[in-house]
Chain A
Amino acid sequence: MTTTLPVTTGLAAPRVRLRPLTEEAVFIRRSVIHSLRTPDQLMMAIALPTILMLMFTWVFGGAIEADGSYVDYVVPGIILLCAGYGAASTAVDVAHDMTAGIIDRFRTMPMRASAVVTGHVVASLLRNLVATAVVVGVGIAVGFRPHADLGEWIGVAGLVALYILVITFLFAAIGLAASSPDAANGYGFILMFLPYVSSAFVPVDTMPSWLRWVAEHQPLTPIIETIRGLLLDTGIHGADGWWALGWCALILAAGIVWSGWLFRRKAGRR
């Protein structure tokens, strides 16, 4: 190491050298234990989308499509809704860590404290994959009949995982930006409304023209259309698949940069 600073004359600092990714491994483990010990979090992530799915198929479904085929239409939308609900608690978890004394301890230790956020993100990904699988299972139980082959299922799993990662990073950033866990919960709510103004529950051509424009061009619609096309084996329309991947990559990059910046600002020295 070259340095222009005065040469230190102190005792050698004890060498604290963590093996690469030790912080990540430790914090992922911590966040997964947190998830397992707060089962109400996982329950909510499963229960709310399930209730919505039952509402949409049994209560509204008959009015939307009288022949009962609405369940096939709505499950892909519910999958994304599910991911959103489950990821929202990441904002609260991150805000909680940032406002509790524990972050100060992490900051005084010779390691990468930002890995604490990575831990929450990975735990959210695992939690929401489980929740999504359960919701798909419930969907099949109430009459959802996917026609996907193995490759299409893998595609769906990959895109759903990517979407969960994207939305979780956004929620992590919201948690970093919020001044308290309660505030994080409130801000996070805004993201929950996005699926309603998309093709998740009803085709966008039923909406008034201005709203239809918003719904057609917001990121969730191509993601939902891609998942729907894969699950129902109806093919992916036009460039929807690329739009889906592009939006995910863009928002993921933005979320990572934003949360990194917020973390340095919050956990940096003032």
Chain B
Amino acid sequence: MTNIAPPVADPAVSLRGVHKAFGKATVLEGLDLTVARGTIVALLGPNGAGKTTTVNILSTLLAPDSGTAAVNGFDVARQAEQVKASISVTGQSAAVDEVLTGEENLRMMGRLSGLSGRQARRRAAELLDRFDLRAAGRKRVKTWSGGMRRKLDIAISLLRTPPVIFLDEPTTGLDTRSRQELWAMIRRLAGDGTTVVLTTQYLEEADVLADRVAVIDHGRVVAEGTPAELKARVGGEVLALHDANGAVVREVPTDGTVAGLRRALAVVGDDALDGVSLRAPSLDDVFLAVTESRTAASDTEHQKEIA
């Protein structure tokens, strides 16, 4: 096999015009995405947008109907074994053995990843320590909490350090502290050159963790860029109106100009409100703006079809 090519020639992940349907339900409609090496990319999108399907295609679990997908320069359809050797995956459903202990899980997966018995044992101990699971390490996973299983699941993915790691909603079900720890760990991985592709429903997670964010909706990438770029796209400050308790009762986006602010205030009128503030746009605003406009657009299309 020829592996003499320059190491930076290919992106870590590339998807070109990927389509995927399950029966009549179309999940991906020509998805395009490129992920540069050593970066953290968050796939963001509502439920059913196609995030998990995208990860499953990239991790060789699903075959695309059309289009091409490559990981670490290897085509997922034709070079599946090389792709598998280039990745580790933590899926959404817990992929741990409940009858075994946490330590046994790690050792088993370590052996299956090509570590020797001794290496697997050492690595298992390290990871149990790092994920704060040592006390429970010799107990059967059946008795563990959901958050602990999640951590074990992620720890298994870190047994080796492959070029690309896929994490499908990694922090769902984790408490705040574990989430922060995992974020730190992901940053460290990326710092060492590993590419991390994660899906998330938490905009905050994408905001603080990801170098780039790809918003996926209806099986397509509808917006892509750094969190700052995406926020800049929605425009200027958001006018927030508060009630007597300080809770936000309404938000009106502005274009960031004085005239825009005046228009926003005019919309609000003289409602009996107790406070007004301005805040910078968040990824939530981006998310709603991109996904809403598309929903509106497809609704109009739909109405045209009916008419």
B303 at the interface (CB under 8 A from A): no
| B99:A108 contact, CB within 8 angstroms | no
Interface size on A, residues (CB 8 A): 36
B93 at the interface (CB under 8 A from A): yes
| B99:A34 contact, CB within 8 angstroms | yes
A234 at the interface (CB under 8 A from B): no
**Interface hit among B54-62, B129-137, B228-236, B250-258:** B54-62
| B95:A105 contact, CB within 8 angstroms | yes
Q: How large is the interface on B (under 10, 10 to 19, 20 to 34, 35 or more residues)?
A: 35 or more
| B100:A30 contact, CB within 8 angstroms | yes
A–B complex contacts, Cβ < 8 Å, 5 sampled: A9-B5, A11-B3, A14-B86, A26-B108, A108-B89
A15 at the interface (CB under 8 A from B): yes
A38 at the interface (CB under 8 A from B): yes
A107 at the interface (CB under 8 A from B): yes
**Interface hit among B155-163, B183-191, B270-278:** B155-163
Mask for A79-122, Cβ within 8 A of B = 1, else 0?
00000000000000000000011101111111100000000000
Chain A residues in 8 Å Cβ range of B61: 104, 107-108, 269
B84 at the interface (CB under 8 A from A): yes
Given contacts A5-B75, A30-B100, contact A16 B163 (CB under 8 A): no
| A102:B96 contact, CB within 8 angstroms | yes
Chain A residues in 8 Å Cβ range of B248: none
With both beta carbons as reference points, the residue of chain A lying nearest to B111 in the complex is identified as: A26
Chain B residues in 8 Å Cβ range of A269: 60-63, 80
With both beta carbons as reference points, the residue of chain A lying nearest to B82 in the complex is identified as: A13
Chain A residues in 8 Å Cβ range of B96: 101-102
A9's partner among B6, B63, B93 (CB-CB below 8 A) is B6
A18 at the interface (CB under 8 A from B): yes
| B91:A30 contact, CB within 8 angstroms | no
B78 at the interface (CB under 8 A from A): yes
| B82:A8 contact, CB within 8 angstroms | yes
Min distance, Cβ A99 to any Cβ of chain B, angstroms: 10
Chain A residues in 8 Å Cβ range of B109: 105, 109
Q: Chain A interface (Cβ within 8 Å of chain B)?
A: 1, 5, 7-18, 22-23, 26, 29-30, 33-34, 37-38, 100-102, 104-111, 269-270
List 13 additional A-B contacts (Cβ < 8 Å) besides A10-B73, A105-B109.
A8-B5, A9-B6, A11-B73, A13-B82, A13-B86, A16-B160, A26-B112, A30-B97, A101-B95, A108-B87, A108-B88, A110-B114, A269-B60
Min distance, Cβ A228 to any Cβ of chain B, angstroms: 38
Interface of A: prevailing SS: loop
With both beta carbons as reference points, the residue of chain A lying nearest to B156 in the complex is identified as: A105
| B5:A10 contact, CB within 8 angstroms | yes
A33's partner among B70, B99, B111 (CB-CB below 8 A) is B99
| B97:A13 contact, CB within 8 angstroms | no
| B63:A104 contact, CB within 8 angstroms | no
Given contacts A34-B99, A102-B97, A269-B62, contact A108 B84 (CB under 8 A): yes
Chain A residues in 8 Å Cβ range of B93: 100-101, 104
| B3:A16 contact, CB within 8 angstroms | no
A100 to B93, CA, bound (A): 8
Given contacts A13-B86, A269-B62, contact A38 B2 (CB under 8 A): no
| A101:B91 contact, CB within 8 angstroms | yes
Given contacts A14-B162, A17-B114, A102-B95, contact A8 B73 (CB under 8 A): yes
Chain B residues in 8 Å Cβ range of A100: 93, 95
A15 to B108, CA, bound (A): 19
| B156:A18 contact, CB within 8 angstroms | no
Chain A residues in 8 Å Cβ range of B60: 107-108, 269
A109's partner among B2, B72, B113 (CB-CB below 8 A) is B113
A189 to B257, CA, bound (A): 75
A249 to B303, CA, bound (A): 65
